[in-house]
Amino acid sequence: MPLPALLFEVFTLFPEVFEPYLQSSILQRAHQRGLVEINLYNIRDWTSDRHHITDDEPYGGGGGMVMKPEPIFAAVEGVLGWPPACPVILLTPQGRTFTQSVARELAFGDDTSVPDQTRRLALLCGRYEGVDERVRQHLASDQISIGDYVLTGGELAALVVIDATARWIPGVLGDPDGVLDDSHASGLLEYPHYTRPAEFRGWSVPEILLSGDHGRIARWRREQSLLRTWQRRPDLLETAPLSKLDRKFLDQLKTSFISDEPEGSSEATGSDEPAQPPGTS
């Protein structure tokens, strides 16, 4: 088996929660192809007391328990050596926000060149109300949050990071261009997708998609992406790379109310989203 392109070393108190997801289709296939490897380590295995204690009361009082530093340092040092042989990413609501471009950065390093060797990343999952601050200060080299809400632990966040990062590795997706077409890869939301049947419960696929005119289809999709992004995530338009034609289309949107229905028929999508210029609701 060749070296994997991406190797995750995951440190957690709940390794069992990872297995069912990692054994599901796409990540399982990536693993079978030798592209992505995930090692799970139970931090509890590095405790040295009789009761295998991993948490303790906070100094200074107050509610909740704090993860003790010793087993975490021992686990990471035992696996990665000292200083750690790869980046150690602490999953915490206090981290920088995870985005598609952070996923790409994790997959390829700071540049976007094709990796020529294994990229190894350690993920450290916090639990309970917190982790002893010395882990953050002296062990973690990076801290990531997956959004502005609080989870009971970093495990789900680690799975999100693994999934979104692995998708960037060539060969992980069936379609080599998949990751480039995604919502957010272009900086815009995706255009609407349809498959057979052409009519379902009286709802038709937009006529243009059946036309075979690839130039017009490409332009329609681009405009649908722009329309959706303008309606739902106008903040993305500030940073998305836009052509002159895109800007002209957006200018037209801003000066006219147009509906969210794809071209053709208002019955076509059964859309429940009326046109809504940003900032008016």
Binding site for ligand 6GU (CB under 6 A): 91-93, 145-147, 149-151, 153-154, 157
Least distance CB 128 / ligand 6GU (angstroms) = 9
The answer to whether the CB of 122 falls within 8 A of the CB of 161 is no
Which CB atom, from 147 or from 197, has the smaller least distance to ligand 6GU?
Answer: 147
Q: Is 93 annotated in the active site?
A: yes
Least distance CB 147 / ligand 6GU (angstroms) = 5
Which CB atom, from 140 or from 146, has the smaller least distance to ligand 6GU?
Answer: 146
- Nearest by Cα to 11 from 76, 58, 56: 76
d(CA 229, CA 186): 11
d(CA 226, CA 267): 21
Which CB atom, from 135 or from 227, has the smaller least distance to ligand 6GU?
Answer: 135
CA distances 96 to 114, 144, 161, 208, Å, are: 25, 5, 13, 42
Least distance CB 156 / ligand 6GU (angstroms) = 8
d(CA 108, CA 129): 32
d(CA 124, CA 67): 12
Q: Which residue out of 77, 182, 246, 261 is catalytically annotated?
A: 182
Q: Is 207 annotated in the active site?
A: no
Q: Is 77 annotated in the active site?
A: no
The answer to whether the CB of 187 falls within 8 A of the CB of 236 is yes
The answer to whether the CB of 76 falls within 8 A of the CB of 88 is yes
Which CB atom, from 149 or from 257, has the smaller least distance to ligand 6GU?
Answer: 149
The answer to whether the CB of 90 falls within 8 A of the CB of 140 is yes
81 φ/ψ sector (left φ>0, alpha ψ -120 to 50, else beta): left
Q: Which residue out of 119, 127, 136, 167 is catalytically annotated?
A: 167
Least distance CB 148 / ligand 6GU (angstroms) = 7
Least distance CB 247 / ligand 6GU (angstroms) = 35
Q: Is 83 annotated in the active site?
A: no
Q: Which residue out of 58, 87, 93, 277 is catalytically annotated?
A: 93
Helix (H/G/I), strand (E/B), else coil: 39: strand
Which CB atom, from 35 or from 40, has the smaller least distance to ligand 6GU?
Answer: 40
Least distance CB 66 / ligand 6GU (angstroms) = 13
Q: For residue 151, what are the contacts with CB-CB under 8 A and spacing of at least 6?
A: 93, 157
Which CB atom, from 157 or from 209, has the smaller least distance to ligand 6GU?
Answer: 157
Q: Which residue out of 70, 105, 129, 190 is catalytically annotated?
A: 129
List the catalytic residues: 93, 129, 167, 182
